[in-house]
Amino acid sequence: MSESIQHKIEQLREELHQHNYNYYILDEPSISDFEFDSLLKELQNLEKEYPQYDDPNSPTHRVGGGITKNFPTIQHQFRMYSLDNSYDFEDLADWEKRIEKTLEGESVEFVAELKYDGASISILYENGKLQQAATRGDGFQGDEITPNVKTISTVPLKLKGDFPERFFMRGEIYLDRKSFDKINQSREAEGLDPFMNPRNTASGSLKLQDSTEVRKRNLTAVLYQFISDKLPAETHWELLENAKKWGFKVSEDHAKLCKNLKEVQDFINYWEENRHQLDFDIDGIVIKVNSLQQQQRLGYTAKSPRWAMSYKFKAEKVETLLEKVSYQVGRTGAITPVANLSPVLLAGTIVKRASLHNEDIIKKLDLHEGDYVYVEKGGEIIPKIVGINLEKRDLFAQPIHYITHCPECGTELVKLEDQAAHFCPNDVHCPPQVVGRMIHYVSRKALNIENLGSETIEQLFREGLVKDISDFYHLSKEQLLPLERMAEKSAQNIINAVEKSKEVPYEKVLFGIGIKHVGETVAKKLAKNFSSIDELKNASVEELTSVEDIGEKIAQSIVEFLNNPENWEMIEKLKSYGVQLVRGENSQEVISEVLLGKTFLFTGKLSLFTREKAEEMVEKHGGKNISSVSKKLNYLVVGEKAGSKLKKAKDIGSITILDEQQFLDLIGNKS
Ligand code: AMP
Ligand code: ZN
């Protein structure tokens, strides 16, 4: 019986490995996603029932699940070198001359490959199984990130065919543009800042602690180098072909075997022109000597192989007319100048606008009206102006004068010493700022009114249906229905969600009403120390600053906000609708009294929980947090790299020092 179970499990694994290969490497799926998922489910169930047959390379391990706190450092058995760079064909010709000299005039074949713009990786295979994966690090040692790499579908967990017993595959992990956009879309929906570019996102993803999250990022791995003590072939090209047969996605897919440098140049020219047709980013071409025996004779410099060369594409730059500078007012009141350009093709997309960031940048460029500007697209997504064609400047052209008043509401702009941007101080009436506060109010961490999106809010504001956040509470279905793309059902959902937000606790409402400098943490502290918004309104700056973590600036801002008659009127309205502006019982939820009368302080880098969470736990168990080490302190909980506080506590002697786990044990919490 058990033998047949084991056999069944192995058979399922084989089948799933093969389907994975068909789908991701050959791009020829032979079953539907649904069938694949059912097979996977079946395997998962069997493995759960018979854990004695588990295998770290089972396809079920791809879905992630493990948490890695610290990635161990490992030595690379074979050093991971950099590549020498070249920027034009002359550099390449020089390189060829150097090679010919060493090889005494032998003819040389080259392999030209794409230079994938991601993070390099080294993966060890033993007996056809993925053993270990590591980042490049400094080339001598890197971080072991095996669980994260296993989640990448294009990385085979088990090889097929006639593979060598032990070897490393080197390659690049990258994020295709579609997956990158998808990640950013969902980040924006969650109110998070978008990531800058696919490369950084790919390398950042490899270091995520939760491998389930890595899986969601949808990374790709392409392998371009085989390394071992024994070489099972004579040329690099053959090695790539073999690797493909064993189940790898290899660089050969977009590479060319070139008889001479002329063919290399054609390849470069082709991709420099057509790189935007790829669905991922490349930043150049890598050229390698094909013969492994020749590679060996050429050897290495201190930093890079002499048998390989990278050819870097120039950052793309075009010239176009600056039509005008316009100014956007952000949701926080910050002003961003934008260059409106005559449309021009750059890096595969039509560019019409470029950010100018702030007044200093405009001054530094010495931008004039009607200038012809150079626009460049580097690794970033938003193009930027890098210079001006002065030859084309009109003799009478005027320098760009920065605006002095808000284009949305006409208020005079202010600029703080320590900030680069100007902003509009009219936070109560400036339209984008009002809308910004409404969007903040409904966001997940505030009142969490899910069904009310930013577009709907903008429409409601434009139509005059809501003037401030309290107006959400008297919206009717009849008012909503005429809006664009508003169906009966979504209108009802909005009404329901608004109604439900009346149950959201006081501390979240405090965060949601958008007092400047009052973030989530400060709102919590305020709610704990002032039991209602009325009490908060009556508090003086001195009373406010006596609360831990609340400084002068925050206190001022609170007093100003709550004493502004219009704001207070809005708050009165919120109260009348039943929004929670008084502390409820459940916001001071008590779990136990084990820490009653005890004081706590956390120091160092915590890894099991955040400081905020820790302090919350202390309170929920009856303890108190204090902010400095003194005789009054009972417990100091130390994370990694604790410094002076730990030393001081030891000196005092009466303080109990705990690590994070010991703290959890103390409150009887294993999570
Ligand atoms: P650089 O970081 O600009 O010095 O370029 C060297 C890096 O290019 C290597 O560490 C690899 O991660 C990366 N690379 C991308 N594509 C290839 C390729 N086809 N062959 C070799 N290295 C590549
Ligand atoms: Zn304004």
The answer to whether residue 586 is domain-embedded is: no
Residue nearest to atom 14 of ligand 1 (CA): 115
Closest ligand to the CA of 403: 2
d(CA 516, CA 567): 13
Same domain, 135 and 245: yes
Residues of the chain above pLDDT 90, percent: 68
For residue 338, what is the domain's CATH number?
Answer: 2.40.50.140
Same domain, 246 and 199: yes
The answer to whether residue 583 is domain-embedded is: no
Distance 437 CA to ligand 2 centre (A): 14
Tell me the CA distances in angstroms from 306 to 251, 421, 422, one per residue in order.
20, 48, 52
The answer to whether residue 135 is domain-embedded is: yes
Domain count of the chain?
5
Known catalytic residue: 160?
no
pLDDT of 278: 92
The answer to whether residue 519 is domain-embedded is: yes
The answer to whether residue 585 is domain-embedded is: no
* Domain end call among 281, 312, 343: 312
Catalytic residue among 115, 158, 288, 524: 115
Same domain, 109 and 255: yes
Block residue for tokens 């100003």 = 560
Report the pocket of ligand 1 as residue ranges, CB < 6 Å: 82-83, 113, 115-116, 120, 172, 224, 251, 286, 310
Same domain, 377 and 412: yes
What contacts 164, CB < 8 A, 6 or more positions away?
A: 228, 230, 232
The answer to whether residue 195 is domain-embedded is: yes
d(CA 368, CA 384): 16
Distance 115 CA to ligand 1 centre (A): 6
For range 51-72, the mean pLDDT: 86
Ligand 1 probe mutation, 76, 81, 172, most atoms within 8 A of CB: 172
Same domain, 344 and 443: no
pLDDT tens digits along 529-571: 899 999 999 999 999 998 888 999 999 999 999 999 999 999 9
Residues of the chain above pLDDT 70, percent: 98
Same domain, 141 and 275: yes
The answer to whether residue 71 is domain-embedded is: no
For residue 445, what is the domain's CATH number?
Answer: 1.10.150.20
> Using 50, 70 and 90 to split pLDDT, how confident is the model at 380?
low
The three-state secondary structure class of 27 is coil
**Comparison of pLDDT for 413 and 611, the residue scoring more:** 413
Same domain, 626 and 497: no
For residue 47, what is the domain's CATH number?
Answer: 1.10.287.610
Same domain, 573 and 531: yes
Residue nearest to atom 11 of ligand 1 (CA): 120
Same domain, 342 and 475: no
pLDDT tens digits along 469-519: 999 999 999 999 998 888 899 999 999 999 999 999 999 999 999 998 898
Closest ligand to the CA of 423: 2
For residue 645, what is the domain's CATH number?
Answer: 3.40.50.10190
First and final C-alpha spacing in the chain: 38
Closest ligand to the CA of 329: 2
Same domain, 54 and 125: no
Same domain, 288 and 228: yes
User: Which is nearest to 558 in space by CA: 547, 430, 501?
Assistant: 547
| Atom from ligand 1 closest to the CA of residue 117 | 15
* Domain end call among 262, 288, 312: 312
* Domain end call among 312, 333, 362: 312
pLDDT of 670 higher than 60? no
The answer to whether residue 50 is domain-embedded is: yes
Tell me the CA distances in angstroms from 496 to 193, 466, 492, one per residue in order.
29, 17, 6
Would you say the pTM of this structure is higher than 0.75? no
What contacts 479, CB < 8 A, 6 or more positions away?
A: 465
Same domain, 487 and 380: no
Domain of residue 636, residue span? 599-666
Distance 333 CA to ligand 2 centre (A): 7
Ligand 1 probe mutation, 115, 175, 251, 253, most atoms within 8 A of CB: 115
